[in-house]
Chain A
Amino acid sequence: MITRRAVTKLALDALTWLVLALMLAPILYLVLASLQDNLRLSTGEFDLFHPTFEAFQRMWRRVDYTHFLMNSMVISAVAALLATAFASTAGYALARFRFRGSRPYEVSVIGTQLVPGSMFLLPVFLGFIWLQQNTFLRFQDTRTGMVIVYTAFFTPVSIFLMRAFFVAIPRDLEDAARVDGCTHFGAFVRVVLPAAAPGIAATFVYAFLFAFDEVLFASQLTQDDARTLPIGIRLFLGAHSEQYAQLLAAGVVSTLPIMVAFFATQRWLVKGLTAGAVKG
């Protein structure tokens, strides 16, 4: 009996490691392939013992990668910051208050997730063009326009994340502050927000991840000035040559900031995600 259990355990352990290997294999392949040159990639023959960083050097010259990266970073960071700010007040309101209209508001926040992106994209696109023709406002193909769109687009999810964090904070904390003479808003700013700092960081990273990875709006609302990475990176596959090595190197470089941000806040992010999901 004992040996049978041991065998089962060993087999399941081996399976776990195999699954992990399968999950990581494409990422490992991405890194290895980015260390080859275009000739080796186009013939499919890798030379793993002679990696070259050529692609990592060339990618900055071939396509205006710096421009795309800056656009992506700035737009995502500002949008995530605004979305987190809006979400922390709105999430707090939903976590602590039952007010007239709180239920419809909550439903409409979830409801936004049911609407296809193209439903917003078309009118927003036409609206941006209209504004450009009739006013001094420039939103089409500008960072400002993208920030506005992304802020609005990622606020609903952030609200639910923040709400889950606020629900987990004991009410006594604010009550104590209010007994000491704080207004309710003062208690929120001075006591609740600092206590929710991990949640705020997690929500920011989450919104940043989503904005950084957004393709639909970026593909139609930007041409050149505000081109972000997800669209710009495809320029490595031009009509004349396929710069696969540079493309993959650019993929590695694009992933790095996300990886760092994720693993730095992983503990809180995971907690927020699972808390939100377990609560429904």
Chain B
Amino acid sequence: MAVTTEPTEPTRPAADGEGAEADDRSERDQPPRGRRWGRSLRSRRPRRKGGLQTLERTRLPYGLIAPAAIFMVLIHILPMIGGWILSLKRLNTFTFSQLFGAPWTGLENYRTILFDSDNALHRGFNQALRNTIVYTFWTVGLTLALGLGVALLLNRPIRGQRIIRTLMLTPWVVPSFVMATLWQFMWRSDVGVINDMLVDWTHLLDHRPIWLNGPNSLWAIVIPSVWRGIPLAMLIFLAGLQAIPEELLEAAEMDGAGPFRQFRYVTFPLLRPLFAVQLLFGVIYASYQFAVPYVMMGSNPGPHADLLMTLVVRESFSNNLVGFGAAASTLMMIGMLVWVAIWYGAFRRDLELAR
């Protein structure tokens, strides 16, 4: 019967002939029929949204986003453009008093950073870039791996489950500046508790290593970052684990899959979108890390722990090389865009599945 009452049919039967399923729309449009039907169909959408309120509907969202948008333009967009302009200027100790009026220098700042191998800034940037990549790799990798591990542990039934889950979050609640000062204290070579553990208590090492200086210093910032990052990763993975239907895992078990294969073929594929999102933001935040090395080691963390952000801030503010800082920031941003593009290419399918 639905076939005979096809609405697009030009010669439609009388109203009585319409099916019982005919909705309110056809009732409304009954008196004028025939060709007028098409028009009312076309005008159906705006009508449904309510005649007078159409105006309100189009304006209200703009009013709602206005305060946030104005702030964003003032503190995000304008300064960002300002940053690009500064990166094209020779703004250093000698021209600092001119502020934005400093002389133009074209792409000189970029050239110095990227290609001028005689320049200390070029070497400093390369070193900081290497450190940042190593720091980001280990911090994000370990945080996600351990966060997932802890989430799997906490997803099992255990006595005191709720209190364990809550307590597990505490490292994340400790402010990172407190965390950094605490670890700085624990890393001390002569009387620090970490060396006590490694040397005096467990005899793993026969001498007390120096952590806050030299080659070890990158680990001195990686490990606290991981420690503080695990709770959040765990929390998100745990939410994902709890959303997995029991039946899926039971079905896999029925088919003879052991715990490892269940994880490999059921659990992990379902967690992939969460993994992807955390990887994206984890890499961004780790690459822009500043607080941990700065609080722990001061404005110059030394060649082995100098990250891009500490380098940029030190050169821009302590040495007044604002042009360099702005150019380096722009390069970092371009690097991040490249990372987002790579990430998008790798995880596009997971994002579509998650929708």
Contacts and interface: CB of A to CB of B under 8 A. Distances in A.
Interface string A13-36: 101110110011011011001000
A44 B175 contact: no
B175 A213 contact: yes
A174 B329 CA distance: 45
B309 interface: yes
B2 interface: no
A123 interface: yes
B176 interface: yes
Contacts of B80: 115, 119-120, 123
Contacts of B329: 116, 118-119, 122
Interface stretch (A48-56, A59-67, A152-160): A152-160
Contacts of A124: 75, 79
A119 B170 contact: no
A280 B75 contact: no
Interface stretch (B30-38, B109-117, B284-292): B284-292
B76 A126 contact: no
A230 B168 contact: no
B182 A29 contact: yes
Interface string A261-272: 011001000100
Nearest to B332: A116
A262 B291 contact: no
B333 interface: yes
B166 interface: yes
B contact patch SS: helix
A278 B354 CA distance: 8
Given A119-B83, A219-B313, A258-B175, A280 B67 contact: no
Contacts of B277: 277, 280
B174 A114 contact: no
B68 A262 contact: no
A200 to B, nearest CB: 15
A93 B64 contact: yes
A234 interface: yes
Contacts of A274: 235-236, 238-239
Contact of B281 (A87, A93, A109, A113): A113
A contact patch SS: helix
A245 B83 CA distance: 41
Nearest to B287: A116
B69 A90 contact: yes
A278 B83 contact: no
A118 B307 CA distance: 13
B67 A90 contact: yes
Contacts of A108: 72, 77
A90 B64 contact: yes
B71 A151 contact: yes
B158 interface: yes
B56 A258 contact: no
A53 to B, nearest CB: 19
Given A151-B71, A213-B291, A280 B196 contact: no
B355 to A, nearest CB: 8
A106 to B, nearest CB: 10
Contacts of B65: 89-90, 93-94, 105
Interface of B: 53, 56-58, 60-65, 67-69, 71-72, 74-80, 82-83, 86, 99-100, 150, 153-154, 156, 158-159, 164, 166-171, 173-179, 181-183, 185-186, 190-193, 196, 227, 230-232, 235-236, 238-240, 243, 273-274, 277-278, 281, 284, 288, 290-291, 294-295, 308-309, 312-313, 316-317, 322, 325-326, 328-330, 332-333, 336-337, 340, 351, 354
Given A13-B159, A209-B175, 20 more contacts: A16-B154, A20-B168, A24-B171, A26-B179, A26-B186, A90-B65, A114-B337, A116-B288, A119-B326, A123-B83, A123-B326, A126-B99, A215-B291, A220-B317, A247-B185, A251-B181, A251-B182, A258-B175, A266-B169, A270-B169
> What 5 A-B pairs are tightest by C-beta distance, nearest first?
A44-B191, A123-B82, A152-B75, A274-B239, A230-B177
